[in-house]
C-alpha cells in the first residue's frame, strides 16, 4: 500500500522545520498566563546538547501522526485494520457504566474517588498510552467498596429475583445478569463460580446483602470491567483478526453513548446479529437516542480543546467586565448543545457546523453576545437564539473557542491559527523549538493586536512556521479575548483579513476576510472533511491512526462525501469500516512469569 501526502504542504513544512528559532507564542496549556504582565523576559542562551542527545525532531503531518492518512481507494483490497490497544475506561465511561449497571440506585460520580483523570490521544481522552499505578489500583478498590455498599443498601431495587425463594440461586442469577453487562459479554462458568464463592464468604455469619456486596467489589475491580478488551475472534489467522460480536457491540456503545451496551445491543451480539447490516442498524438506533448527545458534546469539546478551559487562566476583569469564571463551563456546554442541535435536528451537515448563526445561551453568555436578557419568567434555562449572521457563523465564532484561544488580556492569533491548522485541517505545525521565548508581545495601546504579532514574527526565522498559523488567526480579530464582537480596537479599525497559507484546497485559496468568510470556506473544504473523518476515527478507536487504517479512512471519507458531508453518515461509514470491526492480529509476547 502506498501512502501519499500532499507534496506542496510537505514542502512548506520542511521549510518551516528548518527555521524557527526565535519568538513563538505557543500558549497551549498556558493560555492566559505567560504574557499577562507584558514581560519580555530574557531567555537563557541555548547551548548544544551533550553528544548523543537527539535534537528536536519535526514530524510533518502524515499517517501515524495527527495528519490524515491518504491512499487511493483502488489500492484497498481485503480487510486491513489497526491496533486495538488495551485501555482503561475513561473516568466518564466509568461513571456512565456504573450508572447504567445500577440504575436507579446509584447517583453521582464514583470517579470522584479516583486520584487520576484521563490521559489523552491527541485532544481526545484515552488511557491507551498509560499504565495504572498502585494508587490507581487502590482507588478502584475504594470506589468499588463505596459503590457496592450503596447498591447493597438498596438491593431490592436491582435484584431480578426474590432471595427469600433461595438466596444463593438469586445471588447467582443477579451476578450472572450483572456480570454480563459489566463485562459486556457472557460471564463464563468458572468466573461466575468465583463470584458466587465470594458471595458465600461474605454471606457467612452476615446477611444476604453482605454476600452480594463482597461479590460486587470483585466485579468492579475486574479487568473485564475496567478495561476495553478487544482480543478478536480466537481462531483467526492472518494479519487481521475480526473482533467478536461482543467487542463490536462495546465499540458501538462507547462510541455513541460513551457507556456499556444496553440489552438490545448485547442480544444482537449474542444472536450474531452484528454483521455489516446489523452494525449499521444498531448505529442508527444508538444515534437516534438522546444519549448520543453525550458523545457529540465530548467529541466537539475535546476536538476544540474546550475541556482545557478549566486549565486556562481567567480573563483580566478590568478589560473584560462581563467575564466570570462560571462562564467557562457554560462555554463548553454551549458548543456541545450547538453541535448536538446541528447533528441531531438541523440536517447533520458539516457545513452547518461552520456556518450556522444559531446557538444556545444561558446566564452570562447572553450578554457576551450582546443579546437581551432572558424574557421575564423564562428563568435561567438554556435557550436557542439566532445571532447576527454577519458576525457569527458556526462554532469557531462562538465564545468558547474564541476565549479558549486567547490570553487573559489580549487575543492570540497564533493559538487561534494553530488550533484551526492542527485540529480542523489536520496539518499540525511543528512545535516551537526548545528555548524560544513563548511570550506574546507586550500590550501597547498604540498598536492593534495584529500589528504587534506581525512585528514579532516578521524578519525572524519564526516566520517560516508562523505564516502557517498567524494569517488564519488574524481572520478572528473581530473578536476580543472574551469572544465579544469588535469593529475597532483602541480606536483603530480591525483588519481581519488573512489566508490559509500553503493549502492545496481550492475552497481555502485566496484572501479571506473575517471568520464568517473563513467558516464558509472551511465548511466546504475537503481537507476539513478528511480531517473530521480522521478525528472521529481517532475518537472512535481511542488511538492515533496508522497505516492499517488508511483504507478504512478513505472509505469512511467517501461515505461522508457522498452524503454531502452528513456527520451521521460519516459515523455509519466509520463503524462499517474494516478497522472498526477488526484489529491487527496480536503478536503474542512471551507471557511474563
Partner 1 sequence: MRSTAFTRRSIIKALGAAPVFGPLLPLLESDAEAAPAAPRLIIFFSSPGMTTTYPNSWAPAGADAAFTLRPGTVLEPLEPMKKKLLIVDGVDNLAFRDSPNAGGHPVGMGTILTGHLEANDKSGGTAGWPLGPSMDQAIAARLGGLRTIQLGVNVDRDEILGTRLCYLAARQPLAPQNNPAAAFDSLFKDFRPPTATGAPDPEFERLRALRKSVLDNVRTDLTRLRSRLGMADQQKLEAHLDGVRKIEGRLSAPIEAAAGCASPIKPPTGTFETEAAVPQAGRLQMEIIRSALACNLTRIMSLQWGKAFSSWRYGWLPQPMPAEIHDISHAKPEDTVNAAHMTRAMRWIAEQSLAMMQLLDAVKEGDRTLLDNSIFMWCTEISRSNSHDYRNMPFVLAGSGGGAFQTGRYVRGNGAPTNKLYTSIAHAMGADLETIGDPRYGTGRLPGL
Kindly state whether residue 192 participates in binding partner 1, applying the rule CB under 8 A.
no
Task: Answer yes or no whether residue 136 interacts with partner 1 by CB under 8 A.
Answer: yes
Stretch that binds partner 1, among 53-61, 151-159, 374-382, 390-398 (CB under 8 A): 53-61
- Size of interface with partner 1, in residues (CB under 8 A): 88
The dihedral region occupied by 197, where left means phi > 0, alpha psi between -120 and 50, and beta the remainder, is: alpha
- If binding is defined by CB under 8 A, does position 242 make contact with partner 1? no
x/- track of binding to partner 1 for residues 141-160 (CB under 8 A): xx------------------
What residues contact 258, with CB distance under 8 A and at least 6 apart?
90, 92, 93, 96, 294, 295, 298
Measured from the CB of residue 28, what is the shortest distance to partner 1 in angstroms? Answer: 5
Give min distance, CB of 113 to partner 1, in A.
7
374 binds partner 1 (CB under 8 A): no
108, 264, 435, 564: which one contacts partner 1 (CB under 8 A)?
Answer: 435
Nearer of residues 202 and 348 to partner 1, judged by Cβ: 202
65 neighbors 545 (Cβ within 8 angstroms) = no
In angstroms, the CA 346 to CA 339 distance is 10
39 lies in the site for partner 1, by CB under 8 A: yes
d(CA 322, CA 52): 53
Binding partner 1 (rule: CB under 8 A), the pick from 54, 78, 238, 491 is 54
Q: Choose between 130 and 501: whose C-beta lies nearer to partner 1.
A: 130
Site for partner 1, residues 82 to 121, rule: CB under 8 A: 85-86, 91, 113-120
586 binds partner 1 (CB under 8 A): yes
Q: Is the dihedral of CA 251, 529, 62, 554 positive or negative?
A: positive
What is the DSSP pairing of strand 227-228 with strand 582-584? Answer: unpaired
Q: Does residue number 195 form part of the binding site for partner 1 (CB under 8 A)?
A: yes
Q: Contacts with partner 1 in 314-333 (CB under 8 A)? A: 314
CB of 36 to partner 1, least distance (A): 4
What is the smallest separation between the CB atom of 144 and partner 1, expressed in angstroms? 8
Does residue 408 bind partner 1 (CB under 8 A)?
A: yes
Which part of the chain contacts partner 1 (CB under 8 A), choosing from 190-198, 243-251, 259-267, 565-573? 190-198
Residue 313 in the binding site for partner 1 (CB under 8 A): yes
According to the binding rule CB under 8 A, does residue 135 interact with partner 1? yes
Among 81, 218, 425, 464, binds partner 1 (CB under 8 A): 218
DSSP code per residue over 348-392? -BHHHHHH--EEEE-TTHHHHTTPPPPPTT-TT--EEEE--TTT-
Tell me the C-alpha distance between 121 and 27, whole Å. 19
In this structure, the number of other CB atoms found within 10 A of the CB of residue 82 comes to: 24
Q: What is the DSSP string of 120-170?
A: EETTEE-BTT-PPPHHHHHHHHHHHHHHHHHHHTTGGGT-SS-GGG-HHHH
Smallest separation (angstroms) from partner 1 to the CB of 303 = 15
C-alpha cell at 414: 497564533
Query: Interface residues for partner 1 in 509-528 (CB under 8 A)?
Result: none
Residue ranges in 197-216 that form contacts with partner 1 under rule CB under 8 A: 198, 201-202, 205, 214
Q: Is 327 helix (H, G, I), strand (E, B) or coil?
A: helix
Indicate the residue among 107 and 201 with the shorter CB distance to partner 1: 201
Residue in 584, 573, 588, 498 with CA at minimum distance from that of residue 543? 584
- Indicate the residue among 282 and 437 with the shorter CB distance to partner 1: 437
- Site residues (CB under 8 A) for partner 1, limited to 439-458: 439
Please, what is the minimum distance in Å from the beta carbon of residue 229 to partner 1?
7
Q: In a 10 Å sphere around its CB, with 0-12 CB exposed, 13-18 middle and 19+ buried, how is residue 7 labelled?
A: exposed
The string over 164-196, giving b where at least 16 C-beta atoms fall within 10 Å of a residue's C-beta and e elsewhere, is eeebeebbbebbbbbbbbbbbbebeeebbebbb
The reply to whether 231 sits near partner 1 by the rule CB under 8 A is yes
Amino acid at each position: 500500500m502506498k501512502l501519499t501526502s500532499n507534496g506542496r504542504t510537505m514542502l512548506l513544512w520542511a521549510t518551516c522545520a528548518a527555521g524557527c528559532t526565535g519568538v513563538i507564542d505557543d500558549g497551549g496549556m498556558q493560555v492566559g498566563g505567560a504574557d499577562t504582565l507584558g514581560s519580555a523576559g530574557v531567555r537563557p542562551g541555548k547551548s548544544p546538547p551533550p553528544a548523543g542527545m537527539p535534537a528536536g525532531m519535526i514530524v510533518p503531518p502524515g499517517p501515524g501522526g495527527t495528519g490524515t492518512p491518504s491512499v487511493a481507494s483502488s489500492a484497498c483490497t481485503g480487510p486491513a485494520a489497526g491496533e486495538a490497544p488495551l485501555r482503561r475506561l475513561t473516568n466518564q465511561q466509568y461513571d456512565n457504566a456504573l450508572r447504567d449497571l445500577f440504575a436507579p440506585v446509584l447517583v453521582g460520580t464514583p470517579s470522584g474517588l479516583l486520584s487520576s483523570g484521563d490521559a489523552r490521544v491527541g485532544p481526545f481522552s484515552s488511557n491507551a498510552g498509560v499504565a495504572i499505578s498502585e494508587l490507581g489500583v487502590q482507588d478502584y478498590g475504594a470506589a468499588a467498596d463505596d459503590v457496592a455498599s450503596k447498591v447493597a443498601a438498596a438491593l431490592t431495587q436491582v435484584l431480578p429475583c426474590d432471595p427469600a425463594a433461595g438466596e444463593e440461586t438469586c445471588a447467582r442469577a443477579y451476578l450472572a445478569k450483572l456480570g454480563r453487562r459489566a463485562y459486556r459479554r457472557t460471564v463464563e462458568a468458572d468466573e461466575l463460580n468465583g463470584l458466587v464463592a465470594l458471595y458465600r464468604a461474605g454471606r457467612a455469619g452476615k446477611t444476604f446483602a453482605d454476600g452480594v456486596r463482597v461479590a460486587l467489589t470483585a466485579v468492579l475491580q475486574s479487568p473485564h470491567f475496567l478495561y476495553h478488551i478487544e482480543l478478536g475472534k480466537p481462531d483467526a489467522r492472518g494479519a487481521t483478526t475480526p473482533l467478536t460480536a461482543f467487542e463490536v457491540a462495546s465499540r458501538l456503545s462507547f462510541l455513541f453513548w460513551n457507556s456499556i451496551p444496553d440489552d438490545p445491543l448485547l442480544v444482537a451480539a449474542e444472536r450474531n446479529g452484528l454483521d455489516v447490516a446489523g452494525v449499521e442498524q444498531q448505529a442508527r438506533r444508538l444515534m437516534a437516542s438522546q444519549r448520543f448527545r453525550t458523545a457529540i458534546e465530548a467529541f466537539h469539546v475535546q476536538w476544540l480543546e474546550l475541556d482545557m478551559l478549566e486549565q486556562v487562566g481567567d480573563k483580566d476583569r478590568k478589560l473584560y467586565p462581563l467575564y466570570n469564571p462560571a462562564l467557562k463551563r457554560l462555554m463548553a456546554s454551549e458548543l456541545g448543545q450547538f453541535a448536538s442541535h446541528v447533528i441531531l435536528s438541523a440536517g447533520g451537515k458539516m457545513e452547518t457546523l461552520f456556518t450556522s448563526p444559531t446557538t444556545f445561551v444561558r446566564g452570562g453568555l447572553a450578554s457576551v453576545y450582546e443579546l437581551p436578557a432572558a424574557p421575564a419568567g423564562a428563568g435561567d434555562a438554556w435557550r436557542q437564539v439566532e445571532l447576527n449572521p454577519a458576525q457569527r457563523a458556526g462554532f469557531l465564532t462562538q465564545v468558547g473557542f474564541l476565549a479558549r484561544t486567547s490570553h487573559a488580556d489580549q487575543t492570540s492569533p497564533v493559538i487561534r491559527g494553530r488550533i484551526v491548522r492542527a485540529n480542523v485541517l489536520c496539518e499540525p505545525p511543528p512545535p516551537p523549538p526548545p528555548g524560544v521565548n513563548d511570550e506574546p508581545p507586550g500590550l501597547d495601546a498604540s498598536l492593534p493586536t495584529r500589528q504587534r504579532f506581525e512585528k514579532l514574527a516578521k524578519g525572524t526565522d519564526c516566520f517560516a512556521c508562523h505564516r502557517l498559523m498567524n494569517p488564519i488567526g488574524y481572520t478572528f480579530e473581530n473578536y476580543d479575548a472574551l469572544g465579544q464582537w469588535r469593529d475597532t480596537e483602541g480606536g483603530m479599525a480591525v483588519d481581519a483579513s488573512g489566508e490559509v497559507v500553503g493549502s492545496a484546497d481550492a475552497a481555502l485559496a485566496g484572501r479571506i476576510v473575517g471568520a464568517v468568510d473563513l467558516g464558509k470556506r472551511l465548511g466546504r473544504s475537503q481537507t476539513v472533511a478528511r480531517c473530521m473523518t480522521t478525528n472521529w476515527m481517532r475518537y472512535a478507536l481511542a488511538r492515533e491512526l496508522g497505516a492499517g487504517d488508511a483504507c478504512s479512512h478513505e472509505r469512511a471519507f467517501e461515505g461522508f462525501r457522498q452524503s454531502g458531508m452528513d456527520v451521521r453518515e460519516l459515523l455509519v461509514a466509520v463503524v462499517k469500516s474494516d478497522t472498526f470491526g477488526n484489529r491487527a492480529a496480536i503478536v503474542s509476547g512471551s507471557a511474563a512469569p
